[in-house]
Structure formats: structure tokens, C-alpha cells
Amino acid sequence: MMPDSLIPWLITGFAVIAAILAWLRGGDRGGAQKLAALSQTLERDAYARAGEIQRLHAQNAEQTRALHEHVERGQIDVLDRLAAQTHRQTVDQAEARVGQANALREMAQENGRQLALIREAVQEQLHSAVEKQMQTSFQRVLEQFSAMQKALGEVTAVTAQIGDLKRLFSNVKARGGWGEAQLRALLDDVLPEGAYDSNFRVGDGGEVVEFAVVMPMRGGLKPRLAIDSKFPTEAYERLLDAAERGDADGERTNRRLLEGQVRLEARKIAEKYIRPPVTVEFAVLYLPTDGLYAEIARAPGLIDEIGRLQRVIVMGPSLIPALLRTVHLGYVTLALEDRTDAIARLLGLTRQEMLRMDGVLDKLARQTGTLSGTIDEARRRTRVLGRRLRALDPDDQGEAEPDGAFDAPGSTS
């Protein structure tokens, strides 16, 4: 910033420069005089302005000093107020911190007491719950251990039974006896008593078949249906073993052996037990297990081939009851036919009795008509006599008694 003392000199310098420029342009004496007068005037103005500037500068300095003093006093006042306010806030904060510390201490003590109570209650409940759970778990463990022991005993028994079954099935005669017993149970469950024969001899000097079902027919000679049980266990077990091992070649080989054995047994049954008219035109090859029958049924066209060529039907435990129920239905049909004949005879006798009853009712109707005419004539005579008697009684002259006064209810004149 430019100092205030330089301003008058600058003004004078500008005035001198202006006078010189005017002299250079005019070049006359009058101009010089005017220039000198102008310079003097400018100098006086410059000094006047310098004095005024100095006065203003002093006044400004005085105002600045007063303002500084006022600001300092304000700052001191503000600092005092801030110090007092800070002191009060510090005291209040200290008191508040003391109160908060006391409140927190009391809250902590109360929380400690509550936590102690809760801990005791939780420990008691946890102890009782754990004790109860341990008792329950121990009881469950004991029960499961008992069940496991029982299961182990059952497994041991089943293992022993499986061993017995293996020993049973290893004997051809025992294996055949098991299949025969199963087939006998099915026959007893489905057929009526006396509907089949056991160990039946087919014809004079023929072979003995295990079971022969008596077919439901009328007449003296009733043909039999031969049923023979076969159980080719060896080939079937070898087939299952090969399937479990994943031996495809062994499975195919054993399947062909099983099919060949079933064909052989069907041919034997056809040769031995199909003897019309003692038997029907076909026989039944019974396989005691559904698994064995399923393996035979899986062979394409094997069952149809045996039925077509050997006239033997291959059946398992799930299919033979349907055949036996069909035979049982034939027996039911025969019984219904016999009962129908008895009912027809009874109806004929009833018709004859009804004709006789009709003659008796006709006679009774004629007798009833004669008796009704006699009764009507007697009533008519009674009414005539009553009218004559009323004519003789003077008290009844004005009364008009109807003609039917003596009539019985429902009678006609």
C-alpha cells in the first residue's frame, strides 16, 4: 500500500508534468506564467491535502487504538465468561460423573444380585433337566440295549433257521416235501373238502401224482387235474450267485441250465400224469417260490412253449390260487344248479297245492252265497214284522222309524 506522505508529491509531479506539456505546446510567456501560478496553486493544495491526510491519519490511528482497546476488553470479558462457564461445566460434569458412577455402581450391584439369582435358578433348572435327560437317556439306552439283545437273539434264531432251511433244501427229498406241504396248504385254503386227492394213481398201473384236483363235472367219472411240485434249487442258487457277483456269462449259462431243467420236468409231467379220460388234457407244474417263477417267466416264450408243446401250465404261489378259485367256482355252480333243481321241484309241488286250494275256495264261495241269501230273507221278514208291531202301538204313530231300524250293520234289504 502506498504511504500517505507520497500523495502530495505525486500530485505536484503530475501538475509539473502538465505545465511542461502545456508550455511545450504553447511556447509563449503567458503560458509560462499560467504554469507557474498553476504550480503554486497545486503546491498549496498539496500541502493542504497533506495536512488533512495527516489529520485523518492521526484520527484513524486514534480510532484504531480505541478499537484495539475495546476488542481487548471484549476478549478479556469473553475469556472471563468462558472461564466461569467452563468452571461451572467442569463442576457440573464432575457432579454428574459422580452421580452416574454412583448410579452405575448401584446398578452393577443390583445386576450382580439379579445375575446371582438367575444363575442359581438356571443351575437348579439345568441340574434337574440334565438329571432328567440323563435318566431318560439311560432308560432309552437300556431299552435299546434290551431291544438290541432281543434282535440279536432273533437274528441268531433266524440264522439257525436259515441254516436249517439250507440243510433242508440241500436234500432233494426234503425240498420236495416242503413244496408239497406248501401246495397242500393252498389246496386246503381254497378248495372245499374232498375236492382233491393226495398221491393219486393215474390209471391202472400208472404213476402216482402228488395232488389230483377233482374237476367239478356231472356224471360218474370225474377227471382229475394233476398238480406236481418241482423245486430246482441248485440251478436257481447258482443263477442268483452269478447275478450277485455280476458275472454276466455265468448268469446266462445258469439261466439256460435252469430253463432246460424246467423243460425236462414239464416233459416228465406230461408223460406221466396226462392220461385222458382219467385226467384232463393238461397238468400243472408248481414252483414253490415267486422268485423262481419270476426267473422262469423272464425267459422269452418259455412258459408258452411248455404249455403248447407239453400241455403243462407253469404256476407259482401267486398264480395257482386263481386256478383253484376257478375250480371252486365250478363246485359252487354245481351246488347252485342242484339247488335250482330242488327249488323247481318245490315250485311244481306248490303249484299243485295252489290248484287244489283254488277248488276248495270255489266250494267255500258257493256255500257262502247260499248262506248270505238265507240271512237276507230272514232280515226282510223281521222288518215286515216290526212294521206291523209299530202299527199296533199308539205312542209310535207320529214317529217315523226308518225301515232299516232292525237291520244289522252293513246288511241290505
Q: For 222-250, what is each residue's pLDDT tens digit?
A: 888 888 888 777 777 788 888 888 888 88
Question: What is the distance between the alpha carbons of residues 245 and 237, in angstroms, rounded to a whole number?
Answer: 12
| Residue 319, pLDDT above cutoff 60 | yes
* pLDDT value, residue 11: 63
Q: What is the pLDDT of residues 40-77, one digit of tens each?
A: 777 777 777 777 778 888 888 888 888 888 888 888 88
Query: Which of 110-114, 155-159, 169-173 is predicted least confidently?
Result: 169-173
Q: State the pLDDT at residue 406.
A: 40
Is pLDDT of 87 > 60?
A: yes
pLDDT digits (tens, 9 = 90+) for 257-293: 888 888 888 898 888 888 888 888 888 888 888 888 8
Closest CA to 260 of 319, 306, 316, 308: 306
Which amino acid does the sequence have at 31? G
Whether pTM exceeds 0.95: no
Phi, psi of 312 (to 5 degrees): -120, 130
CB-based contacts of 315, cutoff 8 Å, min separation 6: 284, 285, 286, 287, 293, 323
Q: Who wins on pLDDT, 185 or 31?
A: 185
165-184 burial, b if ≥16 CB within 10 A, otherwise e?
eeeebeeeeebbebbbebbe
Would you state the cell numbers that stand for residue 213, as one nine-digit string?
Answer: 384236483
Residue 3 has pLDDT above 70, yes or no: no
Quick check: 126 pLDDT over 70? yes
Sign of the dihedral through C-alpha 5, 7, 12, 14: positive
The answer on pLDDT for 411 being more than 60 is no
For the segment 383-393, what is each residue's pLDDT rounded down to a tens digit? 776 776 676 66
Query: In the predicted model, is pLDDT for residue 161 greater than 80?
Result: no
- Residue 401: per-residue pLDDT: 46
What is the average pLDDT value for the chain, to the nearest integer?
77
> According to the model, what pLDDT value does residue 412 have?
41
In this predicted structure, the answer to whether residue 376 has a pLDDT above a threshold of 50 is yes
Label residues 389-410 b or e (16+ Cβ within 10 Å = b).
eeeeeeeeeeeeeeeeeeeeee
Q: At residue 86, does pLDDT exceed 50?
A: yes
| 299-309 confidence digits (pLDDT tens) | 888 889 888 88
